[in-house]
A = this chain, B = another copy of it.
Amino acid sequence: MNIVALAGGVGGAKLADGLARLNPPPALTVIVNTGDDFNLFGLHISPDLDTVCYNLAGMEQRNTGWGRADEGWDVYQEIQKLGGPDWFRLGDKDLATHLERTRRLGSGEPLSKITADFCRVWEIDPAVLPMSDDPVPTIVLTDQGELAFQDYFVKLSCEPAVTGFRFQGVENSQPTPGILQAIQEADLIVICPSNPWVSIEPILAVPGIRSALEEKLVLAISPIIAGEAVKGPAAKMYLEMGIIPSATAVAKHYGNLLDGFIIDKQDEGLMKVIINRETHPLKVFCADTWMKTREDRVRLAGEVLDFGQQIIEEV
Q: Cβ of A61 < 8 Å from any Cβ of B?
A: no
Chain B residues near A79 (CB, 8 Å)? 96, 99-100
Find chain B residues with CB under 8 A from A117 CB. Answer: 82-83
Lowest 5 CB-CB distances: which A-B pairs, in order? Answer: A78-B96, A41-B99, A42-B102, A84-B100, A74-B92
Whether the Cβ atoms of B78 and A92 lie closer than 8 Å is yes
Q: A217 interface residue, CB < 8 Å from B?
A: no
Number of A interface residues in the complex (CB < 8 A)? 30
A269 at the interface (CB under 8 A from B): no
Residue positions of A touching B, CB distance < 8 A: 40-44, 72, 74-79, 81-85, 92-93, 95-97, 99-100, 102-103, 106, 117-118, 121
Flag if B103 contacts A75 (CB, 8 Å). Answer: no
Residues of B within 8 A of A118 (CB): 82
Interface of A is mostly: helix
Closest to A106 in B: B42
Q: CA–CA, A79 to B100, complex, Å?
A: 6
Q: B76, B82, B103: which contacts A85 (Cβ < 8 A)?
A: B103
Q: Is the CB of A75 within 8 A of B102?
A: no
Q: Are A103 and B72 in contact (CB under 8 A)?
A: no
A7 to B: closest C-beta gap in Å = 22
Given contacts A84-B99, A99-B41, A100-B79, contact A93 B106 (CB under 8 A): no
Contact A82 B95 (CB under 8 A): no
Contact call A42/B103, Cβ cutoff below 8 A: yes
- The docked-state distance in angstroms from the alpha carbon of A192 to that of B78 is 30
Smallest beta-carbon distance A296→chain B, Å: 29
**Which residue from chain B places its CB closest to the CB of A98 in the assembled complex?**
B41
Residue from A72, A99, A106, A121 whose CB has the most chain B CB atoms within 10 Å: A99
Cα distance, A117 to B83, chains bound together (Å): 9
Chain B residues with Cβ under 8 A from A97's Cβ?
78, 82
Task: Among B44, B84, B95, B106, point to the contact of A75 (Cβ < 8 A).
Answer: B95
Q: CA of A100 to CA of B76 in the docked complex: distance in angstroms?
A: 10
Which residues of the other chain, B, contact A81 by a CB distance below 8 angstroms?
96, 121
Chain B residues with CB under 8 Å of A75's CB are: 75, 92-93, 95-96, 99
A56 nearest CB across to chain B (Å): 16
- CB-CB under 8 A from A82, the residues of chain B are 96-97, 100, 117-118, 121
Residues of chain B lying within 8 A (CB to CB) of residue A43 = 41-42, 99
28 A-B residue pairs with CB within 8 Å = A41-B43, A41-B102, A42-B43, A42-B44, A42-B99, A42-B102, A42-B106, A43-B99, A72-B74, A72-B92, A74-B92, A74-B93, A74-B96, A75-B75, A75-B92, A75-B93, A75-B95, A76-B96, A78-B92, A81-B121, A82-B96, A82-B100, A82-B118, A83-B121, A84-B99, A84-B100, A84-B103, A85-B103
